[in-house]
Homo-oligomer: A and B are copies of this chain.
Amino acid sequence: MAINVRPSEALAPCLSCAARLKSVCRAIPDRDLACLVAASNELTVPARRSFIEEGDVATDFYNIVDGSAKLYKSMADGRQQIIGFAGVGSFLGLVAAGPYAFSAEALEPMRLCRFSQPALSALLDEFPAMERLLLERVSAELAAAQEQMLLLGRKTARERLASFLLDPRLRKARSGGTELLHLPMPRSDIADYLGITIETVSRMLSMLRLAGIIDIPGKSTILIRRRKQLESIAARE
């Protein structure tokens, strides 16, 4: 692994990085940040631009420094399944060799930290703590994927919406028994995430609203009025 320190402000990019505490990089102590800086370089991606294409050889790995992305798989006839959303601190790419399993597209302007495959390998060799964090992270993602498999394989449309609205990754603000959610994506993305159509998303939201369980003060804002009822719908308990 070649150690090439950047010409100026060698450590600054990582020391002041907003994502450092949220990402697997936090396993690397301050005094070794030179290695991290040398292994990575930052790039920006405009909204709506793809930066990972399913099927391409996985030569690079990305750490999200700012912004968020949707991760999805596509079929030849245009159907697509969103397999997840990634925010600041998420790590994208495969550790094993092989093609990317999904595509990634920026939902808003993004800043990414890119590692080449060999550079990442070397980093993991040198900092086992980072490898452990990565293992924990991938394990957690696997558990989330399994939960989504239950949703996609066995839940009704109403149950999918209820589960989606209760996802802790969406949680923003709460006050008393009610919670205010901001949906950072259009209905089409919710539909592709839940394995249904945008019309069904719309219908189920209306149904929940008419039942007094939620309120929809704006297109992208949901107020949860009766969380317990939503939970009982999500789990069919």
Question: A95 contacts B237, CB within 8 Å?
Answer: no
Question: B154 contacts A81, CB within 8 Å?
Answer: yes
A163, chain B: closest CB distance, angstroms: 11
Separation of A134 and B76 alpha carbons in the complex (Å)? 33
Question: B152 contacts A75, CB within 8 Å?
Answer: no
Q: Which of A11-19, A41-49, A123-131, A173-181 is near enough to bind chain B?
A: A123-131
Q: Quick one: closest B residue to A196, CB to CB?
A: B153
Separation of A131 and B139 alpha carbons in the complex (Å)? 13
**A10 at interface by CB-CB < 8 Å:** no
- The verdict on A76 contacting B150 (CB below 8 Å), with A128-B131, A134-B135, A136-B95 known, is no
Could you tell me which residues of chain A, from 132 to 167, have a CB within 8 Å of some CB in chain B?
Answer: 132, 134-136, 138-143, 145-150, 152-155
**A122 at interface by CB-CB < 8 Å:** no
Chain B contacts for A152, CB-based, 8 A: 149, 152-153, 195
Chain B contacts for A124, CB-based, 8 A: 132
**A101 at interface by CB-CB < 8 Å:** yes
A25, chain B: closest CB distance, angstroms: 16
- The verdict on A154 contacting B94 (CB below 8 Å), with A101-B146, A128-B131, A142-B141 known, is no
- The verdict on A154 contacting B96 (CB below 8 Å), with A131-B131, A142-B138, A142-B142 known, is no
Question: A145 contacts B138, CB within 8 Å?
Answer: no
Chain B contacts for A150, CB-based, 8 A: 73, 75, 81, 83
**A79 at interface by CB-CB < 8 Å:** yes
**A80 at interface by CB-CB < 8 Å:** yes
Identify the 4 closest CB pairs spanning chains A and B, nearest first.
A153-B195, A152-B152, A145-B145, A101-B143
Q: Can you spell out 20 A-B residue pairs with CB atoms less than 8 angstroms apart?
A: A75-B150, A75-B155, A75-B235, A76-B236, A79-B154, A80-B154, A83-B146, A83-B150, A94-B139, A94-B143, A95-B136, A96-B136, A101-B142, A124-B132, A131-B131, A145-B145, A145-B146, A148-B149, A153-B192, A153-B194
